Each structure stands twice: as structure tokens, then as C-alpha cells.
């Protein structure tokens, strides 16, 4: 279920292993999602054998350096990912918005004769036995049913598949919302790297330069919005203008070309289990987190790769169903220990209000950057390489 990147990737990897697949998607086509867009090195390594990485590299922006900044104190540290050149063939982050990845996956998936994608098919219910799963979906022509051996729920944070098997989704929703503002104004002359996190006790900002029709690309800003500001105010043109003027310490009269504005709620949740019989969860259906660090979509892709490899072995009779319990142990553990904990810590660091605590953190970052071993260890974690090592160590 779900024709987002995680659902399509699960299907593609299964199809590549000669497993027949059917993807059901409630929307009439792949969607225009402007949130996720940072890909870490282990993700690129995983996607390389299928040819997806090569296609992404053609369209995306390679980001070899990223910054930790503070609105008052300026540049704190610039991290050089070439430090990881002996750890990965992709010592950089790749910026490519999710809506540019899904067409790549869809085209590759449909090149397999035993793969099918049905849009405008909204999941409504399912039943399962020891032998298989029956799914009901609503269409413009009426309800239809499909039978299969297994069902993967990759239908997002509000997953109806997860709800249909009564799996709890423990966690919480942050009180503030997040605003996303995209502009073609170039922040590089002001000293910003293509990826920069700017701490500020009043309103932190995360910068990501994304590919666009031409230079300088599309600069995307993500920032928190307090509860006392309405959605209408956040989406008004002056909100974006004021946010850019504030981060640049520019006169309030400054005006910038705004391409896109949106606002959304942010959650920190993990499903109580990733498997219920013949139903499996992956991506946002299994876990959601704030976007600071770029862990959400990457961890969903890691789910998809882990799950599809194991499910193909089970489907072909090479392994018992217990292998799928290992998928749950590996990926749920990493979701709890790594994705949740570090994304929460990243958010807390950016919004810290106590000056002494902020200054202590700045000093710690500089100390790490001054020590080659500490720098490499820090980047192995922030690039998610350590999370893969942790998952693979679980038996």
C-alpha cells in the first residue's frame, strides 16, 4: 500500500527479485511532497545496485559540506564529509526532493512485467489468514478486492493499514508547527552552505538548497511556528519575507521571490510492532520524526531495503517467516535508539534558550571539529552509517 518512495522502493526491490507485486495508491498519481529531500551516503549505497542512485545523481545536488550556525554567533562549524571517503563511495549528502525520486522509482518498477501500480485505489480494509491477505479498496467504479501473500503498509503516518491491524503508534505531536518557505534568493553570498542549521532560541532555521530549473537552485527554509500564529498568517506572503529578513539581519523592507510556502505538524512516534502476521509496516507507517538531520525518508528507505530482501527470501522458500521478525527487531530498534533520540536532540539543540547551555554546546562542537577522530565519529553518526551498522549487528 502506498506509491510514495518507500512503497515504490519495496515493490521495486521485490520485483527485481522476481516477486510479483501490486501497489495500491489512493491518489490519482504520485504526489508533490516538498518536505523530504536529503539523502545520506548509506542510502545512496543501497540504491546503487538497482540504478536508482545513478539517476538521482543526475538530478540532485551533491552537498560535500554542511554547517552548524547560530543566528547571533554566526558560523560555528563547517563539517567536511570528505572525512568519510574511506567509509563510503558517496562522502556527501545528496539534495533531491521526494517528488523527483518517485517518478524514477515508478518508471523502473513498471519496467517489470510482474509489477503493477493502481492509482485512485484507496485502501479500506483487510483480512488475513495463515496463507494470505485479502485487501479491499475503494475506486470511482466501486469497491474492489485483491488477494496476495503479504501486505506492506507504506501508506504514511496516518496509515490505515497499521490501524486495520490495531498496531499502536506510541509517541507525541510537537505543540509547534513547522513552516517551509522556498525561494530562489541565493544565500551562498551570505556565507551559507547548501545545508545549514541555524540555532536560535526564538526561531531556528534549517536551510537546504534543492535543484531547480537553473542556478542558484531553490533554497528551502524550515522553521518552527508558535501556537499563537494561525495557519493563515504563516501562509501569508509577509511571513516568508519577514523570516528571510530576520535571518539575514536585513531591513524589514527587503523583498525576495517566494516560490512555495506550507505549514505542517510534526510528530515523534514509533509503531509498537512492525509486523502483525502477514502485514508489515515500513517508512512513516512505522515511525515518524521531526526532519532535523534528514533521518525520516532515509530510515524509511533503509526499512524498504531490509524488508524487501528478507521478504523475497521468505516468498521463494529460502527462509522461514521468522526472518521477518528479524526485520522488525533491526529496524524498530534503530528507529527507537537512533532516529527518535538524535532527531529530538537536534531539535532541542537548535531551540535551546539558556545562554550558558548554548555556549557550552558551541564549545563542544568546536572541540569535535578540531579532533579528526571525533569528527569522523560524529559524521559516521550524523550520516546514518552507524545506524546501519547497529541494525546489522542485531540477530
CA distance 270 to 332: 8
Same domain? For 130 and 102 the reply is yes
State how many domains the chain has. 2
The residue segments making up the domain with residue 279 are 5-62+90-171+272-358+384-393
Q: Averaged in consecutive runs of 10 residues, what is the pLDDT profile of the chain (395 residues)?
A: 94 98 95 81 98 97 98 97 98 95 97 97 96 97 97 96 97 95 95 97 96 90 94 94 92 86 95 98 97 94 98 97 97 95 95 97 98 98 96 95
What length is written for the chain? 395
Shared domain check, 51 and 9: yes
Q: What is the pLDDT of residue 35?
A: 67
- Domain assignment present for 280: yes
Whether residue 178 is found in the same domain as residue 117: no
* 101, 186: one domain: no
Q: Is residue 12 part of a domain?
A: yes
**Residues 349 and 297 placed together within one structural domain of the fold:** yes
- Any idea what the Cα angle at residue 217 is, between residues 211 and 222, rounded to 5°? 85
Q: Domain for residue 293, yes or no?
A: yes
Is residue 350 domain-resident? yes
Spatial distance between the Cα atoms of 260 and 142, rounded to a whole number of angstroms: 36
The domain boundary, picked from 233, 266, 299, lies at: 266
For residue 229, the domain's CATH number is: 3.30.9.10
Cβ neighbours around 43 below 10 Å, total: 27
- What is the pLDDT at residue 34? 67
Structural domain contains residue 31? yes
Among 244, 266, 288, residue at a domain's last position: 266
* pLDDT score of 277: 97
Mark whether 191 and 333 lie in a shared domain: no
Q: Are residues 44 and 147 in the same domain?
A: yes
Examine the domain organization and report whether 112 and 36 are in the same domain: yes
Q: What is the DSSP string of 186-242?
A: --GGGT--SEEEEE-SS--EEEEEE--SSTT-EEEEEEEE-TTS-HHHHHSHHHHHH
User: Would you say residue 369 lies in a domain?
Assistant: no
CA nearest neighbour of 73 among 233, 201, 229: 201
pTM comes to 0.95
Please tell me whether residues 19 and 139 are part of one structural domain.
Answer: yes
- The pLDDT of residue 124: 97
- pLDDT for residue 27: 94
Amino acid at each position: 500500500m502506498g506509491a510514495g518512495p518507500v512503497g515504490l522502493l519495496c515493490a521495486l526491490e521485490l520485483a527485481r527479485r522476481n516477486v510479483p507485486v501490486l501497489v495500491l495508491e489512493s491518489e490519482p498519481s504520485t504526489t508533490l511532497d516538498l518536505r523530504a529531500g536529503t539523502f545520506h551516503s548509506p542510502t545512496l549505497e543501497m540504491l546503487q545496485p538497482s540504478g536508482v542512485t545513478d539517476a538521482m545523481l543526475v538530478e540532485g545536488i551533491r552537498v560535500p559540506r554542511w554547517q552548524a550556525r547560530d543566528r547571533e554567533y554566526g558560523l560555528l562549524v563547517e563539517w567536511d564529509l570528505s572525512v568519510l571517503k574511506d567509509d563510503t563511495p558517496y562522502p556527501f549528502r545528496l539534495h533531491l526532493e521526494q517528488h523527483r525520486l518517485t517518478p524514477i522509482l515508478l518508471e523502473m518498477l513498471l519496467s517489470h512485467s510482474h509489477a503493477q501500480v493502481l492509482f485512485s485505489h484507496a485502501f479500506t480494509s483487510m483480512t488475513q489468514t495463515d496463507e494470505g491477505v485479502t485487501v479491499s479498496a475503494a475506486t470511482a467504479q466501486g469497491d474492489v478486492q485483491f488477494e496476495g501473500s503479504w501486505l506492506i503498509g507504506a501508506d504514511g503516518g496516518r496509515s490505515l493499514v497499521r490501524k486495520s491491524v490495531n498496531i499502536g503508534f506510541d509517541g507525541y505531536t510537537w505543540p509547534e508547527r513547522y513552516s517551509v518557505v522556498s525561494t530562489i534568493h541565493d544565500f551562498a553570498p551570505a556565507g551559507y552552505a547548501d545545508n545549514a542549521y541555524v540555532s536560535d532560541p526564538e526561531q531556528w532555521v534549517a536551510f537546504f538548497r534543492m535543484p531547480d530549473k537553473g542556478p542558484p537552485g531553490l533554497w528551502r527554509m524550515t522553521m518552527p511556528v508558535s501556537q499563537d500564529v494561525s495557519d493563515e498568517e504563516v501562509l501569508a506572503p509577509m511571513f516568508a519575507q519577514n523570516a528571510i529578513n530576520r535571518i539575514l539581519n536585513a531591513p524589514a523592507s527587503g523583498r525576495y521571490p517566494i516560490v512555495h510556502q506550507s505549514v505542517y505538524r510534526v510528530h515523534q512516534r514509533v509503531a509498537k510492532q512492525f509486523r502483525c502476521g502477514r502485514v508489515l509496516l515500513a517508512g512513516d507507517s512505522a515511525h515518524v520524526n521531526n526532519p532535523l538531520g534528514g533521518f525520516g525518508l532515509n530510515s524509511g528507505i533503509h526499512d524498504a531495503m531490509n524488508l524487501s530482501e528478507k521478504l523475497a527470501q521468505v516468498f521463494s522458500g529460502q527462509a522461514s517467516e521468522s526472518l521477518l521478525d528479524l526485520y522488525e527487531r533491526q529496524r524498530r530498534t534503530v528507529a527507537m535508539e537512533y532516529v527518535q533520540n538524535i532527531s529530538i536532540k537536534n531539535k532541542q539543540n537548535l531551540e535551546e534558550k539558556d545562554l550558558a547551555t548554548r555556549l557550552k554546546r558551541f564549545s563542544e562542537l568546536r572541540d569535535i571539529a578540531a579532533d579528526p577522530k571525533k569528527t569522523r565519529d560524529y559524521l559516521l553518526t550524523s550520516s546514518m552509517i552507524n545506524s546501519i551498522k547497529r541494525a546489522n549487528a542485531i540477530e
